[in-house]
């Protein structure tokens, strides 16, 4: 990053005579109120860049923007000191600095507002920052020096703190340098809170509590980051003995309760059997339980009924279909990109892997090292979803490691430790992955994925390639004969690879619990810590210990007491949405809703080009036409981001249920559930009960039964003929009118049930 040799500058003789050279300068790394123990030479990287960063000069809204500002461009937050040095000292014919009269330098006068400055006043005369810049200029504006000590890590004090409401906390940040020295850099550090409703952070590191809960304070100095965690317990009166007495199934409960105790959050009561049956059936198979299953489970008195239910659900074909669909989202099974034959080959590989309970590390290696024909070897299609090394690096990092590294393509990551060089080191792993069209009968559709023995990706800023290096992993020599993807996959899937193991655990936890331990689920970074780090590590350790067995991980989660808590919040935990004091309600996905409507109404959906009876969770990709699922947020599978699937409500979704053709057609369908019940001669109460069991997996309450039957009888009383009247003189059309009205009444009831929150949401 630095010049190999110092630039030769013409320093006036009188300046040399008075001793204004680098060795006489006072370093600026210490905070303004802390006197440095030893005077050291001024450093462009360690002294000047921090001043520019603190003043905001190199931020994205100022000269750090992609095109700079007012003809002056700096690297974002000083990620490229050699570029910044050239921009300040050499560009514009060197007019920005005046070594003969440093105080007359435009570089100083503009931020002082001695000259017009669009950015306003950014510097005070006589301040620490001003003094540093003056001394740097007076010393001859020395350039970046490769021999300068560089920052290797940050230490924040205190790293974790529990605070009372409205309390204040002063953070201290020390930089650890490559020469073993440490310096207080609090004054030069960036502080950003992850949740301002809990606490705010000022530029000087002062933290002020604004609410209750927990948050992290992001700390950034140069290209290094750290976090301080702040906990503010809720104002509930709790007894530690209460948490000790709570029932536990496994280690998950112990660690969840520990966090709840620290924040004084009592858990909600357990979910009922009906709630648990519906919840776990949806989460494991994407499907609602049938009325027969719900009735049988309600009558089951076996103490192990919930554990046995989980095992039974995992043995169902619907479990395989649902999880093949889930992983197809992540791995981007998309016929628009892969073509029909490639899509089916890829989907079949995923489906078979779920069926065989293939360990996650094995499945990942098979995908990442795949080569061959895309129509014959399913996992090769992963490399057809992104044809450039940079795109592959970004997709793999986000999909398999939970790292969003895209920002580092143009500059060092502003929120994380990844540098631009590390981005191109990661991308260079895939520079030798090549594609060619096969000249068979499927010309331009069929492709072969293969590896070459040469070829590198150029880092554009340096004009040379960076050695292949996984993010956070070891590098491979540019001239190494080892196949790069194999090298990467072997490193990635190691049991001690924090990102690989934690990324999949976080995805699984988010699926079952409604929120990841880290949110967003595919944004694992040091400055975005887990809400419960101890639980996160314990889940991952257990997952690795059991050889990356996804079903084992699922079973641990869904049999835990934490998963089995009621979704009904109590006053003391109603504000909690991060610590799992109650089950987090969430809307069913687009596919789950369409299948649920088809099941409840008894009218299967017909998908274009698919066999009769196919369900939404059985579809191989999201290009099968369905306006209903598109409106409800089905992902297109064109990007590797959990955000592609939308669960946000909108007006189109409301209209779809209130007056949508699909719902109305299914509810009133011939041979649908209402039609069959009416034709079978079921009584009003029996029909009502069955609609509740079908829709909610429970019988109606006494109030619901009485109210619905009363409304039905009131509507039917307007019909001249009723079964209780003298039917000898009734006309046939009167009987038909009555039966049709009765059928419409139950159709209206079913419409109301499937439009209710209890039906639409997983709770």
CATH number at residue 186: 2.60.40.10
Lowest mean pLDDT among 111-125, 366-380, 435-449: 435-449
Residues 507 and 488 in one domain: no
C-alpha atoms less than 13 angstroms from C-alpha of 599 in its C-beta half-sphere:
24
Query: pLDDT band for position 439 (50/70/90)?
Result: low
Residues 409 and 456 in one domain: yes
Residue 728: the pLDDT is 58
Residue 33: the pLDDT is 56
pLDDT, tens digit, for every residue of 225-282?
999 999 999 999 998 899 999 999 999 999 999 999 999 999 999 999 999 999 999 9
Residue 157 gets the label, from left (phi > 0), alpha (psi -120 to 50) or beta, of beta
Q: Is residue 258 part of a domain?
A: yes
Residue 32: the pLDDT is 54
More confident residue, 105 or 76: 105
Q: Is residue 328 part of a domain?
A: no
Q: Is residue 643 part of a domain?
A: no
For range 440-463, the mean pLDDT = 85
Is the confidence at residue 605, as pLDDT, over 80? yes
Residue 412: the pLDDT is 79
Lowest mean pLDDT among 75-89, 306-320, 559-573, 715-729: 715-729
Is the confidence at residue 509, as pLDDT, over 70? yes
For range 64-85, the mean pLDDT = 88
Domain boundary among 87, 108, 138: 138
pLDDT, tens digit, for every residue of 2-31?
333 333 333 333 333 333 333 333 344 445
Residues 251 and 202 in one domain: no
Instruction: Work out whether strand 160-162 and strand 199-201 pair parallel, antiparallel, or are unpaired.
Output: unpaired
* Whole-number Å distance between alpha carbons of 161 and 168: 11
pLDDT, tens digit, for every residue of 145-189?
988 999 999 999 999 999 999 999 999 999 999 999 999 999 999
Residues 177 and 260 in one domain: no
Residues 83 and 113 in one domain: yes
Residue 60: the pLDDT is 85
Residue 177: the pLDDT is 96
What are the DSSP E strand ranges found in 557-604? Answer: 586-587
Q: Is residue 679 part of a domain?
A: yes
C-alpha atoms less than 13 angstroms from C-alpha of 718 in its C-beta half-sphere:
7
Domain boundary among 232, 264, 283: 232
Is the confidence at residue 41, as pLDDT, over 90? no
Domain that holds residue 505: 246-319+498-586
Instruction: Give 147-187 as a DSSP string.
Output: TS--EEEEEEESSEEE--TT-EEE-EEEEEETTS-EEE-GG
C-alpha atoms less than 13 angstroms from C-alpha of 474 in its C-beta half-sphere:
8
Residue 463 gets the label, from left (phi > 0), alpha (psi -120 to 50) or beta, of left
Residue 287: partners with Cβ closer than 8 Å, 6 or more residues away: 281, 318, 322, 592, 595, 596, 599, 615, 617
Q: Quick count: other Cβ atoms within 10 Å of Cβ 364?
A: 22
Is the confidence at residue 467, as pLDDT, over 70? yes
pLDDT, tens digit, for every residue of 660-706?
999 999 999 999 999 999 999 999 999 999 999 999 999 999 999 99
Pull the structure tokens for residue 405: 């590294």
pLDDT, tens digit, for every residue of 486-497?
999 999 999 999
Could you say which DSSP state residue 409 is in? G
For range 121-128, the mean pLDDT = 92
Helices (H) and strands (E) in the chain, counts: 28, 17
pLDDT, tens digit, for every residue of 280-303?
999 999 999 999 999 999 999 999
For range 103-123, the mean pLDDT = 93
Residue 440: the pLDDT is 53
pLDDT, tens digit, for every residue of 323-367?
999 999 999 999 999 999 999 999 999 999 999 999 999 999 999
Tell me the pLDDT of the chain averaged across its residues: 91
Residue 513: partners with Cβ closer than 8 Å, 6 or more residues away: 557, 562, 563, 580, 583, 584
Q: Is residue 601 part of a domain?
A: no
Residue 165: partners with Cβ closer than 8 Å, 6 or more residues away: 209, 211, 212, 232, 235
- Ranked by mean pLDDT, the top range of 28-32, 383-387, 407-411, 674-678 is 674-678
Pull the structure tokens for residue 331: 């791995």
Q: Is-contact 244 73, C-beta < 8 A? A: no
Residues 507 and 487 in one domain: no
Residue 234: partners with Cβ closer than 8 Å, 6 or more residues away: 212, 213, 263, 264, 265, 572, 573, 575, 576
What are the DSSP E strand ranges found in 30-187? Answer: 151-157, 160-162, 168-170, 172-177, 182-184
Pull the structure tokens for residue 109: 């006068």
pLDDT, tens digit, for every residue of 705-736?
999 999 999 988 887 766 655 555 667 777 78
Burial status of residue 400 (CB atoms within 10 A of its CB: 0-12, 13-18, 19 or more): buried
Q: How many domains does the chain have?
A: 5
Residues 212 and 252 in one domain: no
Residue 757: the pLDDT is 96
Instruction: Work out whether strand 213-221 and strand 372-373 pair parallel, antiparallel, or are unpaired.
Output: unpaired
Helix (H, G, I), strand (E, B) or coil at 226: strand
Residues 439 and 509 in one domain: no
Q: Quick count: other Cβ atoms within 10 Å of Cβ 422?
A: 22
Q: Is residue 600 part of a domain?
A: no
Residues 166 and 185 in one domain: yes
Residue 379: the pLDDT is 98
Largest CA distance in the chain: 126
Pull the structure tokens for residue 650: 């909108």
Residue 295: the pLDDT is 98
Helix (H, G, I), strand (E, B) or coil at 221: strand
Residues 395 and 477 in one domain: yes
Q: Quick count: other Cβ atoms within 10 Å of Cβ 186?
A: 25
Strand partners, 434: 450
Helix (H, G, I), strand (E, B) or coil at 337: helix
Residue 729: the pLDDT is 63
Is the confidence at residue 554, as pLDDT, over 80? yes
For the whole model, what pTM was predicted? Answer: 0.89
For range 566-581, the mean pLDDT = 97
Residues 417 and 452 in one domain: yes
Q: Is-contact 661 597, C-beta < 8 A? A: no
Residue 14: the pLDDT is 30
Domain boundary among 439, 463, 492: 492
Q: Is residue 606 part of a domain?
A: no
- Tokens 């969840």 — which residue? 256
Residues 481 and 506 in one domain: no
Residue 495 gets the label, from left (phi > 0), alpha (psi -120 to 50) or beta, of alpha
Is the confidence at residue 538, as pLDDT, over 70? yes
Q: Is residue 751 part of a domain?
A: yes
Burial status of residue 723 (CB atoms within 10 A of its CB: 0-12, 13-18, 19 or more): exposed
**CA nearest neighbour of 192 among 79, 57, 59, 28:** 59
Is the confidence at residue 91, as pLDDT, over 50? yes
């Amino acid at each position: 990053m630095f010049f190999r040799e110092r630039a030769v500058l013409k320093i006036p003789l009188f300046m040399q005579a008075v001793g204004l050279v680098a060795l006489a300068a006072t370093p600026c790394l210490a905070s303004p109120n802390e006197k440095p123990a030893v005077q050291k030479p001024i450093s462009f990287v360690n002294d000047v860049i921090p001043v520019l960063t603190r003043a905001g000069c190199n931020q994205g809204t100022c000269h750090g923007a992609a095109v700079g500002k007012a003809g002056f461009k700096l690297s974002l937050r000083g990620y490229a000191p050699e570029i910044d040095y050239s921009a300040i000292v050499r560009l514009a014919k060197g007019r920005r600095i005046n070594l003969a009269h440093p105080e007359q330098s435009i570089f100083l006068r503009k931020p002082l507002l001695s000259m017009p400055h669009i950015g306003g006043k950014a510097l005070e005369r006589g301040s620490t920052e001003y003094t540093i810049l003056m001394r740097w200029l007076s010393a001859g504006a020395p350039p970046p020096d490769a021999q300068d000590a560089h920052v290797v890590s940050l230490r924040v004090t205190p790293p974790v703190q529990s605070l009372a409401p409205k309390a204040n906390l002063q953070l201290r940040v020390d930089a650890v340098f490559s020469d073993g020295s440490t310096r207080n850099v609090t004054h030069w550090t960036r502080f950003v809170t992850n949740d301002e409703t809990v606490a705010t952070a000022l530029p000087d590191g002062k933290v002020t509590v604004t609410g209750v809960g927990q948050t992290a304070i992001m700390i950034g100095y140069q290209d290094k980051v750290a976090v301080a965690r702040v906990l503010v317990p809720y104002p509930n009166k709790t007894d530690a003995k209460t948490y000790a007495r709570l029932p536990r199934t496994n280690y998950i409960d112990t660690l969840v309760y520990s966090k709840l105790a620290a924040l004084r959050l009592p858990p909600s009561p357990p979910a009922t059997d009906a709630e648990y049956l519906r919840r776990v059936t949806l989460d494991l198979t994407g499907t609602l339980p049938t009325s027969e299953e719900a009735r049988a489970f309600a009558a089951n008195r076996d103490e192990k009924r919930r554990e046995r239910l989980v095992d039974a659900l995992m043995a169902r074909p619907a479990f395989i279909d649902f999880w093949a669909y889930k992983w197809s989202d992540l791995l981007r099974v998309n016929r628009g990109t892969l073509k029909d034959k490639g899509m089916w080959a890829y989907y079949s590989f995923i489906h078979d892997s779920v069926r065989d309970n293939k360990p996650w590390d094995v499945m990942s290696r098979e995908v990442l090292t795949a080569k061959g024909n895309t129509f014959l070897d399913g996992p090769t299609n992963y490399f057809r979803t992104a044809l450039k090394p940079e795109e592959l690096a970004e997709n793999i990092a986000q999909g398999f490691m939970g790292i969003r590294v895209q920002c580092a393509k143009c500059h060092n990551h502003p929120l994380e430790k990844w540098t631009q060089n590390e981005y191109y080191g990661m991308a260079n792993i895939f520079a030798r992955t090549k594609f060619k069209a096969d000249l068979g009968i499927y010309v331009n559709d069929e492709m072969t994925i293969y590896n070459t023995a040469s070829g590198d990706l150029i880092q554009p800023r340096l004009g040379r390639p960076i050695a292949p290096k996984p993010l956070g992993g070891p590098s491979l020599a540019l001239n190494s004969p080892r196949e790069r993807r194999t090298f990467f996959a072997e490193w990635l899937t190691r049991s001690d690879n924090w990102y690989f193991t934690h990324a999949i655990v976080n995805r699984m936890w988010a699926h079952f619990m409604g929120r990841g331990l880290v949110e967003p689920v595919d944004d694992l970074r040091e400055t975005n810590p887990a809400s419960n780090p101890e639980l996160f590590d314990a889940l991952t350790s257990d997952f690795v210990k059991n050889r990356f067995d996804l079903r084992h991980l699922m079973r641990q989660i869904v049999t835990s007491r934490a998963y089995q808590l009621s979704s009904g919040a109590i006053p003391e935990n109603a504000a909690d949405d991060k610590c799992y004091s109650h089950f987090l309600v969430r809307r069913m996905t687009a596919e789950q809703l369409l299948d649920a409507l088809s099941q409840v109404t008894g009218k299967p959906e017909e998908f274009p080009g698919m066999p009769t009876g196919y369900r939404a969770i059985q579809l191989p990709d999201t290009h099968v036409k369905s306006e209903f699922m598109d409106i409800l947020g089905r992902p297109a599978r064109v990007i590797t981001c959990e955000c592609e699937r939308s669960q946000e409500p909108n007006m189109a979704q409301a209209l779809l249920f209130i007056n949508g053709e699909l719902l109305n057609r299914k509810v009133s369908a011939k041979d649908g559930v209402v039609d069959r019940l009416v034709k079978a001669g079921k009584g009003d109460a029996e029909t009502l009960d069955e609609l509740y069991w079908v829709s909610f997996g429970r019988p109606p309450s006494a109030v619901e039964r009485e109210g619905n039957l009363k409304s039905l009888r009131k509507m039917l009383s307007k019909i001249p003929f009723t079964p209780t009247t003298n039917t000898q003189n009734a006309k046939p059309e009167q009987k038909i009118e009555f039966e049709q009205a009765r059928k419409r009444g139950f159709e209206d009831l079913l419409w109301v049930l499937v439009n209710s929150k209890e039906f639409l949401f997983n709770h």
